[in-house]
A and B are shown apart, each in its own frame.
Chain A
Amino acid sequence: MPFTSPLGNLFGPSPFKPLQEHMRVVVRCAEQVPGLFEAIFSGDEAKLQAVKDKIFALENEADEIKNELRSHLPRTMFMPVDRRDLLEILDLQDSIADTAQDIAGMVTLRPVAPLEPIQAPLMALTERCLDACNKMASIMEELDELLETGFRGRESELVLNMIDELNKIETDTDHKAIELMRELFVHEKEIDPISLMVWHRLIRWVGDLANYSEKVGNRLRLLLAR
């Protein structure tokens, strides 16, 4: 005898769990980016391909979670946060994976000449951008606690502080990116112009990893401010 209980059907699937799952995959995807640069500077073609494949696979995985979550978020769902905010956060998280994919796609599409003087600052910038991604991740991991406390009170203050820290990290990545650009143009004559153009674009994209992480945090800030 099939039956439906109004009480049983009242509870929809939590959108927060897949959102966090998506975030974890996206961060893992971004964490592969330093591997690409290491491969370029060590001239390890096989490693470059392997890392690129891994990034593409993770980006794909993130897309699947994203589409699954989107299809389970009908307008009749009553949630403690605005549906649009949730979808916006999902899209911003997804942009991080997309950016990592752009970087991986570009370095395998057009081999870029390794430029020794920018190696150290580039690695430093990438690591700092990953710090931003990880900060965003630990903020998103607080969603369960925010839900428990109704997105108010001490827990929300804690998360707001974490978002402040994320903002500081992002500002830091901006400075590092400018320094790196300067270094790149100092040595512009040492590589072919196309490589120069590609490096310029890659640096922008690495910076975007931190930018999108910050935007996730800022979106959450709006949500807590209400």
Chain B
Amino acid sequence: MRTPAPRKILSALFVGACGLSVVLALIPLVFLLFFVLSQGVQALNLDFFLNDPRPVGETGGGMANAIVGTLMLTGLAAAMAVPIGVISGVYLSEYRGSRFASAVRFAADTLNGVPSIVVGVFAYAVVVLPLGHFSTLAGGFALGVMMIPIIARTTEELLLLVPNTLREGALALGATRGRAVFTVIVPAALPGIITGVVLALARIAGETAPLLFTSFNNAFFSTSLTQPISSITVQVFTYAISPYEDWHRQAWAGALVLVAIVLICSMAARIAAARVARIRGQ
């Protein structure tokens, strides 16, 4: 028996359309990586990682202060958002039927959709204004606020994937509900939760808007929590809108470093999750 010709043609058309869509979807990514890589590599050298920015007119200099700043800001955000987010996620999955949980879920989804500049304004109002000046704390707070709903919802969804039979097994051994959750259910979902946290980190590491009026920028190296601090994203923004050729090259290099950090984070998350899973034999 032979396949009728019209059906063959239709099948080929659909396969072709699918392939074309994939190619179209990948084109921006390929171009982005290509440009960032080709432009960024030119300005990338050891000095870029070790030196702070030089004044206009002097060539050289780097983004050491901005790289440290980004690490501090994301670290602060994680310290704030991981405990709150994971515990909220546990609450959402444990009390999923309750009215309060539905309200929290709705609030988290709304917060997730709030434009990041609005989160920046919020952080400006609650941290910058009382302190009287821009600071690392304010920037970390703004990023943390953005991270909480992502982690809470990811954690909730991963906990719901843990088979209920594990919960029953723990309860049948005389575990209380809380014990069952924190000694069996959360550990079972841990590889996924780790991945979720790191992906959330990678996402907020690339934020610029919430930092513009919270941590602002700093031309000098600083690790103070109460002083303004530089970050790669804000530094790239500052350099990119400047009229100086040398700064443009530095902006490309900064973009490349940022992409590399995000990529390394994602890979580290996958490796960590795979290792935890392998230890357990999953």
Are A and B part of the same complex? no
A residues near B, CB below 8 A?
A: none
